[in-house]
Amino acid sequence: MEKNQMSLEFSALSQNESFARVAVGSFFVQLNPTLEELADVKTAVSEAVTNCIVHAYGEQGGVIRIECAMDGDTMEIRIVDYGVGIADVEKAMRPFYTSQPGEERSGMGFTVMQSFMDGLTVKSQLGRGTTVSMVKKVASAAAPAADEAADERENAAG
């Protein structure tokens, strides 16, 4: 069966950060997340999208693409930009590292993504762009399957 998926492209402007959180959150809600799981996903999306706006495009604008796909109890989110790229991904992902020390950036974006999501990979090519892939598994998605099993038992009995 095909995965349930969506993709979204929007301008890399800070006023769209809230929109990105809400869009991914409302798609993710189909997996019946807890409030905490939902907040985790929205926060991680906010971090990744902010990185595109601030770093990929240096606040000069560009396009951000978000792709989400659900597979059972898991959602995979890809946040794609076509900006400057990251020269040293390992260094960029170090806690509190920021390439903009004068600008009041906490350097915690990747740390937040890693803590709040169940998996994070970053692929980048200088001058071509970056793709951040994250995964979130919901604890409660077992519930629908239990209902189906109960329905089957009823049908078999009746």
Partner 1 sequence: MQIKTQRKGPVLIAKVTGELDHHSAKQFVKEMDKQLSDETVRELQLDFKGLTFMDSSGIGALLGRYKKLAGKKGKLTVKNMNRTVGRIFEMSGLSTVIKRVG
Is 111 or 131 the residue whose CB approaches partner 1 more closely? Answer: 111
Q: Is 136 helix (H, G, I), strand (E, B) or coil?
A: strand
CA atoms within 13 A on the CB side of 134: 28
Measured CA to CA, the distance from residue 158 to residue 66 in angstroms comes to 46
- In whole angstroms, the minimum distance from the beta carbon of 52 to partner 1 comes to 11
Largest CA-CA distance found in the chain, in angstroms, rounded: 71
| Closer CB to partner 1, 83 or 109, in the complex | 109
The H-or-E segment that residue 120 falls in is strand 119-125
Stretch that binds partner 1, among 16-24, 60-68, 76-84, 133-141 (CB under 8 A): 16-24
Q: Between 69 and 107, name the residue whose CB sits nearer to partner 1.
A: 107
Residue 136 contacts partner 1 per CB under 8 A: no
Q: Is residue 2 among the annotated active site residues?
A: no
109 binds partner 1 (CB under 8 A): yes
Considering the candidates 105, 128, 148, 153, report the single residue annotated as catalytic: 105
Tell me how far apart the alpha carbons of residues 47 and 110 are, in angstroms, rounded to a whole number: 7
